[in-house]
């Protein structure tokens, strides 16, 4: 199973549970090492601001590694497209009021923007 598919499967598995689960149990279920599960859980934690902004329709501040430079943007996510090798975010760049597409793994930092800003 590819990492992106595994991350999605782990997130869905955790959401469907009413009780906690050990990293060892997750490793056995997904046939990877315990260390890999810890890395995957770290990646899911890092993605939390993106998920919150998307589901709650809140603006998001991101630091994005583009082709030539790192840029900082304030965006509002419209939808996400999960392709075989990457996840794409279709979003509105709030400063330019323009539609943009971002590759999720190129976002190095993200935080939900407070409504007062």
Residue among 61, 71, 63 at smallest CA distance from 117: 61
Determine which helix (DSSP H) or strand (DSSP E) holds 28, and give its type and residue range: helix 23-30
Pairing mode of beta strands 98-103, 70-82 = unpaired
Pairing mode of beta strands 87-93, 98-103 = antiparallel
Fold for 48-112, please state it: SH3 type barrels. (2.30.30)
What is the model's pLDDT at position 23?
A: 94
**In the chain, domain spans:** 3-46, 48-112
* Nearest-angstrom CA–CA distance, 77 and 89: 7
What is the model's pLDDT at position 80?
A: 85
- The pLDDT tens digits along the chain (117 residues) read 788 788 878 888 888 888 889 999 999 999 999 999 999 888 887 777 887 787 778 999 999 998 899 999 999 999 888 777 778 899 999 999 999 999 988 888 999 998 644
What is the model's pLDDT at position 115?
A: 62
* Nearest-angstrom CA–CA distance, 80 and 51: 10
């Amino acid at each position: 199973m590819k990492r992106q598919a595994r991350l999605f499967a782990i997130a869905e598995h955790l959401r469907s549970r009413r009780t906690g689960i050990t990293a060892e149990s997750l490793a056995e279920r997904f046939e990877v090492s315990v260390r890999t599960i810890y890395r995957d859980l770290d990646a899911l934690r890092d993605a939390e601001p993106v998920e919150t902004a998307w589901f709650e329709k809140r603006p998001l501040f991101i630091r994005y590694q583009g082709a030539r430079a790192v840029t900082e943007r304030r965006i509002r996510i419209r939808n996400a497209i999960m392709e075989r090798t990457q996840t794409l975010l279709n979003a509105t760049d709030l400063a330019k009021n323009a539609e943009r597409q971002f590759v999720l793994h190129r976002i190095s930092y993200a935080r939900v923007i407070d409504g007062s800003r």
